[in-house]
């Protein structure tokens, strides 16, 4: 029992001592923990490895947004308006004040609207329509008088434009092989009333090619030639029933013949060499010459006469042995859209040995467009 009691006493004494030691150990342990934790804060690798963020490729490539040229080049579009180009053929330029539509690389056709004014340009000719307080005014413009037809203010190279398309009006005659207007004996029935023998031509189109400049070039086109020969005597012409040769025709029933003429129509194609000379104004003096070929389309004769006091007429269609094809020389000269023309054919009016040998020519006024 004493041993047990002593053992208990020892335990009672040891327990408080052990408890005191236990309380002091944690303090040391906590202090050591603080000491151990402090280096952890100083050596925190996370803070030191922060530069890894700077090495991030995504952050380094961020400046590419500033380098995008597309955004910076947007202001380079024309400041005067919007431009739409379709297949490099049709260009539409629209601004707050006007609209312009251009067809073709060389601005072959232009329509421009500016407020109360509409301008239509085809080649070197144009029409201006202006609506004002006094009504509508229409002007025909010569585009050669306009220095620039471009919104971009750039100089365009002037194209060579021939002077063939237009309308011609003049007198018709023919010459003998001796270059005389007087008919030889036996052919007096072919004498003409020159003042009433007319020639008029309409040339709807022409095409020009400059020879390295806009002042010299070749031109061609398509035309229609109409000729009226008014005979001076009281007679017409006809084919001899036996030989087919052209002879004088005087109807027995005609009485007094008041008018007798022959009408013919040809289609023509020229080949021209043209020179243009600039003047102090904006127009040009032009001189051209070349050859012309033609093919017959139709022909007829008409006689007007009085019979028993009554007016009558006789019109007969036929070929009259006229040459179906002919060629000759042509020349023109003028200023801007007004000039003179002359045609002389080297082919006889009638087929060889089928009528008098005569060589047609015509001279007159030329109005081009």
Angle at 124 between CA 118 and CA 128, to 5 degrees: 20
Ramachandran angles phi, psi of 212, nearest 5°: 80, 0
Euclidean distance between CA atoms 246 and 299, whole angstroms: 14
Q: Cα 162 vs. chain centroid, distance in angstroms?
A: 15
Euclidean distance between CA atoms 112 and 93, whole angstroms: 9
Question: What is the per-residue pLDDT for 185?
Answer: 93
The CB density around residue 301, as the number of other CB atoms within 10 Å, is 21
Euclidean distance between CA atoms 369 and 124, whole angstroms: 9
Euclidean distance between CA atoms 142 and 184, whole angstroms: 49
Q: Which residues contact 291 (CB under 8 A, 6 or more apart)?
A: 270, 271, 327, 328, 329, 330
Residue 61: helix, strand or coil by DSSP? coil
Q: How confident is the model at residue 121 (pLDDT cuts 50, 70, 90)?
A: confident
For the chain, give every domain's residue range.
Answer: 74-145, 166-368
Residue 71: helix, strand or coil by DSSP? helix
Q: With left for phi above 0 and alpha for psi between -120 and 50, is residue 104 left, alpha or beta?
A: left
Answer for the pair 215, 228: CB distance below 8 angstroms, yes or no: no
pLDDT in tens, 130-166: 766 666 677 776 665 554 444 444 445 678 999 999 9
Euclidean distance between CA atoms 108 and 102, whole angstroms: 8
pLDDT in tens, 244-293: 999 999 888 767 888 999 999 999 999 999 999 999 878 899 999 999 99
Question: What is the per-residue pLDDT for 14?
Answer: 45
Euclidean distance between CA atoms 43 and 57, whole angstroms: 27
Question: What is the per-residue pLDDT for 28?
Answer: 36
Question: What is the per-residue pLDDT for 142?
Answer: 66
Per the prediction, the chain carries an average pLDDT of 77
pLDDT in tens, 18-36: 444 444 434 433 434 333 4
Question: What is the per-residue pLDDT for 100?
Answer: 74
Euclidean distance between CA atoms 270 and 194, whole angstroms: 26
């Amino acid at each position: 029992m004493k041993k047990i009691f002593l053992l208990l006493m020892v335990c009672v004494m040891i327990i408080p001592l052990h408890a005191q030691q236990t309380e002091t150990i944690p303090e040391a342990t906590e202090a050591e923990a603080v000491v151990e934790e402090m280096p952890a804060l100083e050596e925190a690798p996370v803070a030191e490895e922060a530069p890894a963020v700077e090495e991030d490729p995504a952050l380094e490539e961020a400046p590419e947004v500033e380098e995008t040229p597309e955004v910076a080049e947007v202001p380079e579009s024309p400041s005067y308006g919007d431009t739409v180009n379709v297949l490099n053929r049709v260009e539409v330029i629209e601004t707050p004040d006007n609209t312009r539509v251009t067809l073709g690389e060389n601005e072959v056709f232009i329509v421009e609207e500016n407020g109360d004014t509409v301008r239509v340009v085809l080649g070197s000719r144009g029409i201006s329509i202006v609506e004002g307080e006094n009504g509508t005014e229409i002007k025909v413009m010569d585009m050669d008088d306009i220095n620039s037809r471009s919104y971009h203010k750039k100089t365009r190279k002037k194209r060579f434009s021939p002077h063939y398309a237009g309308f011609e009006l003049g007198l018709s005659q023919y010459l003998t092989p001796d270059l005389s207007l007087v008919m030889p004996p036996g052919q007096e029935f072919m004498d003409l009333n020159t003042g009433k023998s007319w020639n008029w031509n309409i040339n709807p189109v022409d095409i020009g090619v400059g020879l390295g400049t806009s002042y010299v070039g070749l031109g061609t086109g398509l035309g229609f030639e109409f000729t009226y020969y008014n005979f001076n005597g009281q007679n017409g012409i006809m084919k001899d029933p036996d030989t087919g040769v052209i002879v004088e025709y005087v109807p027995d029933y005609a009485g007094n013949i008041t008018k007798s003429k022959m009408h013919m129509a040809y289609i023509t194609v020229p080949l021209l060499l043209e020179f243009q000379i600039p003047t102090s104004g904006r127009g040009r003096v032009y001189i051209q010459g070349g050859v012309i070929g033609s093919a017959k389309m139709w022909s007829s004769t008409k006689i007007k006469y009085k019979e028993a006091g009554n007016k009558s007429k006789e019109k007969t269609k036929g070929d009259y042995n006229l040459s179906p094809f002919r060629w000759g020389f042509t020349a023109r000269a003028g200023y801007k859209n007004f000039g003179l023309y002359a045609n002389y054919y080297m082919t006889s009016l009638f087929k060889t040995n089928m009528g008098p040998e005569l060589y047609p020519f015509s001279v007159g006024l030329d109005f081009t467009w």
